[in-house]
Amino acid sequence: MQQVPLWKLGMTIRDRAYIAGAFEHPTRHAPDKSTPQLHAECAAGALADSGLSLSDVDGYFCAGDAPGFGGMSMIDYLGLNVRHVDSTETGGSSYILHVSHAAQAIAAGKCSVALITLAGRPRSEPFGRTPGTAPEAPFESWCGVTTHNSYGMCAARHSHEYGTRPEQLAWIKVAASTHAQHNPHAMLRDLVTVEDVLASPMISDPLRRLDCCVVSDGGGALLVVAPEVAKSLDRPLVSVRGAGEAVKGPMGGRNLDLTTSAAARSGPAAFEEAGVSPSDIKYASIYDSFTITVLIQLEDLGFCAKGEGGRFVADGNLISGAGRLPFNTDGGGLCNNHPTNRGGITKVIEAVRQLRGEAHPAVQVANCDLALATGIGGSLGTRHGAATLILERQ
């Protein structure tokens, strides 16, 4: 069945919603707080950033990190009175997807101020997802799948098919650390070299410790609002210009392909809705649970051809001020923050900072008027969800 893109029928989220508030919790270790408390502190931070108040919020979005019974526990805890709720779960990419879903709800008149929160404390309380009654559980729960070896298999296959080398992956970490030097909140602020990455202990072949993101307590929040709300506030206008989402898994094991992610569908959908191409993007937040996550997404989004990712990321090409595509100028998940093992919200937050001109001066991209935030949640080697956003400063 041929599908006509809805935006061609005038049905689009393009410029129908704005990100008016963004807040990244400064903590990276919170043994003295509860997880709901962190959600509330993040919500308060985003409200203060926007100039809105709690009573303005009429939509709430959360994912699997929200404690309790989906949005219900959190809406009650936070004291919200909403007319729209959404707890779509695509792992760490959920919050990028939530911005799109919030924009859709706003465009449909279902809410006008949508709050998105993420928070958690993997360093301070037991953490982990059990396969439970998932259909794949009897066949996979005994295999010892972790994120490290799941993404490791993707890196190994990418290397096999395209000759991608460990030192090329290492450049992604080097670029992140170059940016993290300027972030006082970053967990890892030391500049590292390709040699440092290659000398770090092997975790799961071919990924070494410095190919992996940090584990941090913390969180973040976003406020997605209707155009008339955004224009009533005293903040730079950051509009949602396009979005895409997709889910991918081995799907019965036929034609398995671990070198292409669901971003190969979420990315083109976002670019098409936004009416722009990868070469128009001034800054990109690319989900960096591991170095390989970045490389595969860059290819799938069309920043380079499939298989060319290793060459694209090498030699500092992702470093702000030096390379062609400045990425993760906060230091990303690799160096700054990966709150509750979910890096999606920090990807949107740093993109908003760049578009507002509020990134650190050492990493601020000049005339940054078009940015992308993209993420892979779940497990790239098994089942994962991708979400891509294109944001514009008006």
Partner 1 sequence: MTDSSSRKPPSPAPTPENEPFWAAAAEGTLLIKRCRSCGNAHYYPRAICPYCFSTDTAWQASKGEGEIYSVSVMRRGANAPYALAYVTLDEGPSMLTNITGCDFDALRIGQRVAVRFLSTDAGPPLPMFAPIGD
Q: How far is the CB of 204 from partner 1 (least distance, A)?
A: 5
- What's the burial of 267, exposed, middle or buried (CB within 10 Å: 0-12/13-18/19+)? buried
Give 190 or 257: the residue with its C-beta nearer to partner 1. Answer: 257
Tokens of 381: 């080697």
Give 109 or 144: the residue with its C-beta nearer to partner 1. Answer: 144
Q: How far is the CB of 56 from partner 1 (least distance, A)?
A: 45
Strand order in the sheet with 238-248: 84-86, 59-61, 113-120, 218-225, 18-24, 238-248, 384-393, 370-378, 283-286
Give dist(CA 389, CA 354) in Å, integer: 14
Sign of CA dihedral 211, 215, 218, 221: positive
Determine if 160 is a binding residue for partner 1 (CB under 8 A).
yes
**The only residue of 256, 305, 322, 362 in contact with partner 1, by rule CB under 8 A:** 256
Only segment of 170-178, 251-259, 319-327, 360-368 that touches partner 1 (CB under 8 A)? 251-259
- β-pairing, 238-248 vs 113-120, is unpaired
**The only residue of 16, 123, 157, 306 in contact with partner 1, by rule CB under 8 A:** 157
The number of beta carbons lying within 10 Å of the beta carbon of residue 361 is 8
**The only residue of 201, 234, 366, 367 in contact with partner 1, by rule CB under 8 A:** 201
Determine if 250 is a binding residue for partner 1 (CB under 8 A).
yes
Determine if 308 is a binding residue for partner 1 (CB under 8 A).
no
Determine if 306 is a binding residue for partner 1 (CB under 8 A).
no
Binding-site string for partner 1 from residue 120 to residue 149, where x marks contact by CB under 8 A and - marks none: ---------------xxxxxxxxxxxx-xx
Residues binding partner 1: number (CB under 8 A): 38
Q: How far is the CB of 166 from partner 1 (least distance, A)?
A: 13
Beta strands in the chain (DSSP E): 18-24, 59-61, 84-86, 113-120, 202-204, 207-208, 218-225, 238-248, 283-286, 370-378, 384-393
> What residues make contact with partner 1 under the rule CB under 8 A?
135-146, 148-150, 152-157, 160, 201-207, 250-254, 256, 258, 381-382
